[in-house]
Homo-oligomer: A and B are copies of this chain.
Amino acid sequence: MTRKAQHEELARSLGAIGAVRRDMARILPPDCPGGSAGVLTLLGLHGDMRMSRPAEPLAVDMSVTSRHVAHVAGRGWIERLPDPADKRSRIPRLTPAGRARLDGLSERSTQLLADRLSDWSDDEVGLLVRQLTRLRESFGDGRPGGPRVTPTAPTAPVAETSTADETATEPTTPRTPA
């Protein structure tokens, strides 16, 4: 019961975070919307990677990544190198212009956060980052076509057997994506 109420509260909190994300998105330059910025960020972080890779941490379909990559490529911020190991693949790489763009974006978002979180301590920010990271990991396999309900969950079907008021009577009404 308390557990369920907590989850309801969490769901609402997550919804409210949308406002934060929109606020972050608002400071982006018109020619570099969120999706493009995401691609640049990932390439800047992890270096060259094939198209399907950035789709992973973002948990989006590859077709989405493809569009974003095409957009930034059109701006000259990345180039798509051929993959010597697989001719079907193209490997996006940040260009100097792309790096400069990324630095600019980073500067913007950093300033916004510095302003909004001016009364947060370093430890508090660090804690939040860890929490968010863990949350993201807990949803790890949430990709579109990904396996739904823990097929062979390595993490204990054991449960606690104590206050299990899960009311687990039904297995999540299927969405029937047709």
What's the dominant secondary structure at chain A's contact region?
Answer: helix
> Within 8 Å CB of A132, what residues of B?
10, 13-14, 16-17
* Chain B residue at minimal CB-CB distance from A58: B19
A24 nearest CB across to chain B (Å):
6
Q: Are B8 and A142 touching (Cβ within 8 A)? A: no
Q: Are A142 and B20 touching (Cβ within 8 A)? A: yes
> Within 8 Å CB of A70, what residues of B?
169
Query: Can you list 7 residue pairs at the A/B interface with Cβ under 8 Å?
Result: A4-B114, A6-B126, A8-B106, A13-B129, A13-B132, A31-B164, A115-B153
Closest 4 CB pairs of A and B: A19-B59, A23-B142, A31-B162, A13-B132
